[in-house]
Chain A
Amino acid sequence: MSRAQVLESVDEAVAGIEDGSTVLVGGFGLAGMPFDLIDGLIRQGAKDLTIVSNNAGNGDVGLAALLRAGQVRKVICSFPRQIDSYVFDGLYRAGKIELEVVPQGNLAERMRAAGAGIGAFFTPTGVGTPLADGKETREIDGRTYVLEYPIKGDYAFVSAYRADTLGNLVYRKTARNFGPVMATAATTTIAEVREVVPAGELDPEAVVTPSIFVDRIAVVEARQYTVQGAR
């Protein structure tokens, strides 16, 4: 039950996701974006979703495609507005999607707290800004902090580089970004990886996400996607 399953297809990996779920989606822009799991979710069709991710989609692929499919009710993110976030921008301006903007470090820490069993935490980030309006503050050792609560997912979609058959994960370069944090913070964590190797073949000292945080794995082809700024 608690062991990770290596599944035959992306569709099996995303099976059973209910309408109204909160889904944590890894990636910083397109680096680390779990493209295939998102495409699977579009086929699967769950709607009324809350998506937690750093951005709100780039171009027409990944998260942007899920938004365009009309399956998302609310986005919780740090940086929705980008040069190629036209899908989100259109939905937002039409009043068809809800937005909660969270400072990037608070976003990461709120998920870390969820995964680590922390009930809430005081952070200096955002104090005195509109993003702390109405929130409880406390002075600790002469500095003011604001109380922030965890963000827990029903599902996390993580793109990693390689898994072993137990579900241990390693990542690649800056595509790691939110993956290890989100993997801890969801009831069901689903990883897409480029390769699954037998248990024992990953260096235990180099494992980034231990298997206990991973529930389902699907192998996908590396995506050739256009990088912003690249020509």
Chain B
Amino acid sequence: MTVLSSAAAVEHADRGPLTTDELAAVIGRDIPAGSYVNLGIGQPTKIADHLPVGADGQPDVILHTENGMLGMGPAAAGDDIDPDLTNAGKVPVTELPGAAYFHHADSFAMMRGGHLDVCVLGAYQVSARGDLANWHTGKPDAIPAVGGAMDLAIGAKDVYVMMTLFTKNGESKLVADCTYPLTGVACVSRVYTDHAVFDIQPDGVRVLETYGITLADLQGRVDVPLLG
């Protein structure tokens, strides 16, 4: 199902919130066939199981991994495990026909240079204008570690965020202004969460779909004006 971004929100209030796998499937559905895609470490990795499939039954998306590969295949198992072939999460993976290896400056040129169509990242917070905070809690005892997050955030043509909408304390992670240190400014285009899918638009945040909650109840729990 494709939802036009100007259409009214589709409410799925007669069910529960999305599970992580269901959320991964929703994101996979929205990734265009033929695109070059980077899936961030952690939950976004699950989207690999839900990518568009071509006539040959194989995923019709070429996966980029920041450590230096296009055409990344599924996780490796058994005899296929090769310590020289890992993904950005340092998990052993496989190569698909047509794969290419390259060094780090080239890999990040692919991001920064705007060559990737979509990347999907996790987040601590996203602001109403698409600011992303996903690398540092800012706590005094936390060891900062950024990796490729800032390059991905500003580089891909479309930056999707995959996260739960609420913290364990029930606070919305979609916020008017991020309180965590930023990863990138006005860089997120879509926010996919267990309770709703949001499109970050010039005139505000538009709700595309809700899951397990009505639009009215959603607005009551998110302190950002929502266009529906």
State the A residues within 8 Å of B (CB).
Answer: 28-32, 54, 58, 78-82, 89, 92-93, 99, 101-109, 111-112, 123-131, 171-181, 208, 223-225, 227-230
Contact = CB atoms under 8 A, between A and B. Distances in A.
Max chain A Cβ within 10 angstroms of own Cβ: one of B82, B141, B151? B151
A69 to B, nearest CB: 21
Contact of B182 (A92, A104, A129): A129
A93 B141 contact: yes
B181 A130 contact: yes
Contact of A30 (B76, B83, B181): B83
B145 A229 contact: no
B139 interface: no
Given A125-B151, A180-B103, A228-B91, A105 B108 contact: yes
B105 A181 contact: yes
A28 B92 CA distance: 12
13 contacts: A28-B67, A81-B144, A108-B108, A127-B184, A131-B146, A174-B67, A174-B69, A175-B84, A177-B103, A180-B105, A228-B91, A229-B89, A230-B92
B142 to A, nearest CB: 8
B74 interface: no
A225 B65 CA distance: 22
Interface residues of B, number: 47
A229 B105 contact: no
* 8 closest residue pairs by CB, A with B: A105-B108, A105-B151, A229-B91, A128-B185, A108-B104, A29-B90, A81-B145, A175-B84
Contacts of A89: 143
Contacts of A172: 84
Given A124-B154, A125-B154, A173-B84, A105 B148 contact: yes
A126 B184 CA distance: 7
B25 interface: no
Q: Is the interface of B mostly helix, strand, loop or mixed?
A: loop
Contacts of A175: 83-85
Contact of A29 (B86, B104, B146, B154): B86
Contact of A173 (B101, B141, B143): B101
B101 A103 contact: no
A31 B83 contact: yes
Given A127-B185, A174-B86, A229-B90, A79 B147 contact: yes
Interface string B68-81: 11000001100001
Contact of A129 (B81, B141, B181): B181
B67 A103 contact: no
Contacts, number: 165
Interface of B: 65-69, 75-76, 81-86, 89-92, 95, 101-105, 107-108, 111-112, 131, 136, 141-151, 154-155, 181-185
Given A29-B86, A92-B143, A125-B154, A103 B148 contact: yes
A229 B86 CA distance: 10
B92 A104 contact: no
B105 A112 contact: yes
A127 B154 contact: yes
A81 B143 CA distance: 6
Nearest to A32: B84
B148 A31 contact: no
Given A31-B83, A54-B104, 17 more contacts: A28-B86, A81-B142, A103-B146, A103-B148, A105-B104, A111-B105, A125-B151, A126-B150, A127-B184, A128-B184, A128-B185, A172-B84, A176-B68, A178-B104, A180-B105, A229-B75, A230-B81
B112 A105 contact: yes
B9 to A, nearest CB: 30
A178 B103 contact: yes
A58 B83 CA distance: 14
Contacts of B148: 78, 103-105
B85 A173 contact: yes
Contacts of A178: 103-104
